[in-house]
Structure 1
Amino acid sequence: MSKLLVTGGAGFIGRHLAAELVARGHDVTIYDALIEQVHGEGAADLPEGVEFLRGDMRDAERLGRALAGCDAVVHLAAEVGVGQSMYEITRYVGANDLGTAVLLEAMIAAPPRRLVVASSMSVYGEGAYRRGDGSRAGAIRRRAADVKAGRWDLSDDAGAPLAPIPTDEEKPVDLASIYALTKYAQERQALIFGEAYGVEVVALRLFNVFGAGQALSNPYTGVLANFASRIASGAAPTIFEDGRQKRDFVHVEDVARAFRLACETPGIGGEIFNIGSGQAYEIAEVARLLAREMGRADLRPEILGRARSGDIRNCFADISKARERLGFRPEHRLETSLGPFVDWVRGETVVDRGAEMRRHLEERRLVS
């Protein structure tokens, strides 16, 4: 048995991870600020046997108490949301970057053996692409003029189309949003700290996580949760661009297992791993699958034909490294996991804030 601290542990991923760790015999402390946007009026039920301490990531004294005697730390605490990060910049940089800095400083007196930090696929910007001749394209972004004209897919300098391929950890970082910037800063801070203080740091770049327990009232995170909130409220799910953009959806129980493996697997200090399903899904098709599962196949996705600032076109995971080094193998596919997800949604109070989110972005000219 070892003692672990999970920051942000009362959140969606954190609760599943805490249950996973307790089941493996670990002693778990959760540290969480219980932000209303994520948690509503209070924390959801936490796994039996965990210790809970409420506090902000920038409260060094309280963090120090939470860290006492910990062998390992999993750092999940963060503000999450590409769109919101583009206008609540101080909030995201303060919570994510400054919060991580305070955590690292609090560790100096008695560094843990290992620190596992939650990073994000957003740090890649656009995923990896292949040219028509089969060669891999270098770092590439969409041109603003193409996006404004509704030319969503990427092409090379000669105008030839590029094909998306699985993104591995060697793909260069290209930060397209404030959220991505803060996640990369968290990742790099932790890795630099680890080298200086002899802490084994592991960064997990998470792709789109879904499953029971995701906040249904927070329109800035969780594509599947946002779609479910719309459908449960009798409204069509709304999708930016043309709905053919591709993402990787990974189940929260698989993600929890990945974090547990990152805590327990020897010899991986300083490493970065993609955590996804290894599958690519078109967003509009995901919306249609969910609507059918919820008995509302009549609610066809509303395709907006407009782009949101900070969004990318395609990114889905190559998880070869996580398979080989962590022994990580996803056990839940999106297609076979929608039933249990829908059963959970039906037992929840749903608040659809999708229209509110769109209004906030449009008022700030972040939708084109």
Structure 2
Amino acid sequence: MNILITGGAGFIGSCLARSLLQQGHSVTVLDNFNPQIHGSNTELTADLRQSVRLVRGDVRDRKVWASTLPGHEVIVNLAAETGTGQSMYEVAKYEQVNLAGTALLYDLLGRKADHGVERIVVASSRAIYGEGAYQCPQHGQVYPQPRVSSEKRNGLFDPVCPVCAVICLSVPTPETAPFQPSSFYGLTKQVQEQMTLLFGEVFGIPSFALRYQNVYGPGQSLKNPYTGILAIFSNLARVGADINVFEDGEESRDFVYIDDVVRATVACVNSPEKRSYAVNVGSNERTSVMQVAQAVNRYFGGKSKVQVTGAFREGDIRHGMADLERARAMLGFEPRVKFEDGLRSFLAWAEESEPELSGYERSLEEMKDRGLLHGRA
């Protein structure tokens, strides 16, 4: 098939392109090489340069969509602004890229009945859930509201039952969970996903919205200070700088390795499904941020001081882990890479590049100046 990957020069897009090429598909990459993600690099990796068609352009440009779209049976829509914290003050940019860009796609598809598009896959996010699913001793599975800043200032970080206000235990979040995003990024992903699934049904284009958890692995951006704590911690640990952990360090994430993410995405491209669905993509593991910081520091010789600061950012969630039952049933997906192994591969790769620290410090100052970062970061 002829497959268009928006944001295809990025981390997930490049890895996905390689996998699709190996299966005999033809791949077009549409990317604007955003410096926040790519730094000064404005080229595809050497192995992709001769194998894919590259379109330099922006998904916010109608003419780019109109000239690139024809001839593609599958669209994998990865182009997005992805910083949870940054989305809280770069609101218009996140709206334009994540929502207006996707709206242009469906505007064009709706004007031409013979567009030839047979499937669309969009990168959604676990951020649409907000805090996600928890278990209350009295009320069973519940979905807590976003945490209150005044309580976090007093060191009360755990979500509580929305019925009885008792602290709850985090459990894997299913796709049936309500939408409760706690950041504007999450809100844009919610609407982008709903747009994809709605028009998938209306236009008869089977579509998948993949709710990626925290994707990591060799090849991810080490320069983007707004996403990826593994990249941030590895930069700090390599130079022996302090690694300051937000909240109490017990907040946790579902870190899913890039190879598993690619396998799930390829399964959607090749799926025989005729309807449109949202599907979680995760690792089946939960890892605390403190565990991550300590593991990264150990790998690089333990030169950094790892400390909990109690600081917190508006828009962050406490815990996150995906329920993978639908992914197993619908895609035959089972994560293969354990976090311990994936982390080792990522750090060995990161070790070959120069650490980048200035961007992270700048991002913290931006959030602090806007009242979105509280405490000593």
**CA–CA distance in 2 between the matches of 1:199 and 1:268?**
8
What SS class does the counterpart of residue 273 from structure 1 fall into? strand
Partner of 1:241: 247
2:298 to 292, 299, 315: 292
**CA–CA distance in 1 between the matches of 2:300 and 2:334?**
28
1:354 deviates by: 2.0
- Quote the sequence identity (%): 37
**CA–CA distance in 2 between the matches of 1:275 and 1:322?**
7
Partner of 1:21: 20
1:36 deviates by: 0.5
CA distances 1:151-202 after superposition (whole Å, capped 9, x unpaired):
0012235442211001111111102111011111111111121122111111
On the 8 A contact 1:361/1:367 being kept in 2, the answer is: yes
Partner of 1:193: 199
**CA–CA distance in 1 between the matches of 2:319 and 2:181?**
14
**CA–CA distance in 2 between the matches of 1:155 and 1:95?**
34
- The aligned amino acid for 1:122 is A
Q: How does 1:165-244 map to 2 (within 5 A)?
A: 165-244=171-250
**CA–CA distance in 2 between the matches of 1:303 and 1:357?**
19
1:237 deviates by: 2.4
On the 8 A contact 2:182/2:315 being kept in 1, the answer is: yes
What SS class does the counterpart of residue 195 from structure 2 fall into? helix
Is 1:320 paired with 2:319?
Answer: no
Partner of 1:115: 120
What SS class does the counterpart of residue 272 from structure 1 fall into? strand
Unaligned segments of structure 1, at least 5 residues: none
What SS class does the counterpart of residue 313 from structure 2 fall into? coil
On the 8 A contact 1:153/1:161 being kept in 2, the answer is: yes
What SS class does the counterpart of residue 302 from structure 1 fall into? strand
1:341 deviates by: 1.2
- The aligned amino acid for 2:234 is A
On the 8 A contact 1:227/1:238 being kept in 2, the answer is: no
On the 8 A contact 2:144/2:160 being kept in 1, the answer is: no
Q: How does 1:274-353 map to 2 (within 5 A)?
A: 274-295=280-301, 297-352=302-357, 353=359
Structure 2 CA distance for partners of 1:268 and 1:357, relative to 1, 3 Å:
farther
Is 1:9 paired with 2:15?
Answer: no
- The aligned amino acid for 1:89 is V
On the 8 A contact 2:7/2:77 being kept in 1, the answer is: yes
On the 8 A contact 1:7/1:77 being kept in 2, the answer is: yes
- The aligned amino acid for 1:364 is R
1:73 deviates by: 0.3
**CA–CA distance in 2 between the matches of 1:187 and 1:234?**
41
CA distances 1:231-257 after superposition (whole Å, capped 9, x unpaired):
123212232111101110000111111
1:111 deviates by: 4.7
Is 1:359 paired with 2:373?
Answer: no
What SS class does the counterpart of residue 314 from structure 1 fall into? coil
Is 1:96 paired with 2:98?
Answer: yes
**TM-score with structure 2 setting the length:** 0.93
- The aligned amino acid for 2:341 is T
**TM-score with structure 1 setting the length:** 0.96
Partner of 1:68: 70
What SS class does the counterpart of residue 29 from structure 1 fall into? strand
Partner of 1:145: 150
On the 8 A contact 1:120/1:206 being kept in 2, the answer is: yes
1:324 deviates by: 1.3
What SS class does the counterpart of residue 373 from structure 2 fall into? coil
Query: May I ask how many residue pairs the two structures share in their alignment?
Result: 366
Name the stretch that deviates more: 81-90 or 263-272: 263-272
**CA–CA distance in 1 between the matches of 2:247 and 2:293?**
14
Partner of 2:34: 35
On the 8 A contact 2:211/2:278 being kept in 1, the answer is: yes
What RMSD, in angstroms, separates the aligned Cα atoms of the two structures?
1.5
Unaligned segments of structure 2, at least 5 residues: none
CA distances 1:116-140 after superposition (whole Å, capped 9, x unpaired):
0000000000021001247112443
1:58 deviates by: 1.4
1:43 deviates by: 3.3
What SS class does the counterpart of residue 256 from structure 1 fall into? helix
**CA–CA distance in 2 between the matches of 1:186 and 1:225?**
27
1:145 deviates by: 2.3
1:266 to 259, 264, 272: 272
What SS class does the counterpart of residue 325 from structure 1 fall into? helix
On the 8 A contact 2:76/2:121 being kept in 1, the answer is: yes
**CA–CA distance in 2 between the matches of 1:354 and 1:59?**
30
